[in-house]
Amino acid sequence: MDKPAIQYVVEEAVSAGITDILVITGRGKRTLEDHFDRSFELEYYLEEGGKTEELAEMRRIAEMANIHYVRQGEPRGLGHAVSVAAEHVGEAPFAVLLGDDIMHPDAGVLTAMLGTFDERGRSVIALKEVSAADISSYGCAAVKPVEGNLVQVEDLIEKPAPEEAPSNLAVMGRYVFGPEIFDLLARTEPGRGGEIQLTDAIKVLAQREPVYGWTFRQGRFDVGNKLEYLEATVELALERDDLGPSFRKFLVERLARDDS
């Protein structure tokens, strides 16, 4: 629609109370930085044209958080991407939100994870049940129950074959860590393709201290997947006041043509 995926991710962080955001970028991602910056020329023309709603939205985007940027340099895996944030983060706890994963505003996953970290003082990862056929696309967690949606992670396997998976709980793109993860990432050896896997560092961390998993069922879209990208577009468009009624009418009429 009219909002890039990264904005949904930033808005999720802000709604959970995070206002200092570091975006790990790569070559050719300058438009991402421009999206969250002020554009005084465009603001001028919007104001002159009386487009007050568009002007207010542009200013809201630019002012929603303190957003910083650092380039990964070379694509050496998720673990390496997280490690380049070490200097910015320092000794503070922090959250990692992957840009391909969009969470529905009502899911509340990140807020619950931050609450768990505050309560228990240990790292928390997001886990969601997936089918046996899909588990090989994710990190998979062996867990033991704690209470409610909370489990303790006992082991992690990166992209296991279905018959080797210890559960159907897949690691989703939300994490809350203490700064100790950076030392483990620095010691993690590159794996396949020369990439440093975040899963490998979490696995070592779980052997040293409790690592928790927050399980959830609904509200996540993988916009790196073409089908889920379409699903996210439809679901989120239907909820909008400006698009929902007309779009719903179109979908009903379109489906009726297919059934006729």
Whole-model pTM above 0.85?
A: yes
Helix (H) or strand (E) holding 178: none
Residue 68: predicted pLDDT: 87
5-224 CATH choice from 3.90.550.10, 3.90.700.10, 3.40.50.300, 3.40.50.720: 3.90.550.10
**By C-alpha distance, which of 127, 120, 3, 21 is closest to 65?**
21
Residue 105: predicted pLDDT: 84
β-bridge partners, 176: 95, 124
d(CA 178, CA 93): 4
Positions in the chain whose pLDDT score sits under 50: none
Residue 257: predicted pLDDT: 87
d(CA 117, CA 126): 12
Residue 190: predicted pLDDT: 87
Residue 74: predicted pLDDT: 79
Give counts: helices (H), strands (E), the chain.
11, 10
Residue 49: predicted pLDDT: 76
Domain spans of the chain? 5-224
d(CA 46, CA 39): 11
Residues 105/15, Cβ–Cβ less than 8 Å: yes
Residue 221: predicted pLDDT: 92
**By C-alpha distance, which of 236, 171, 239 is closest to 199?**
171
d(CA 250, CA 245): 9
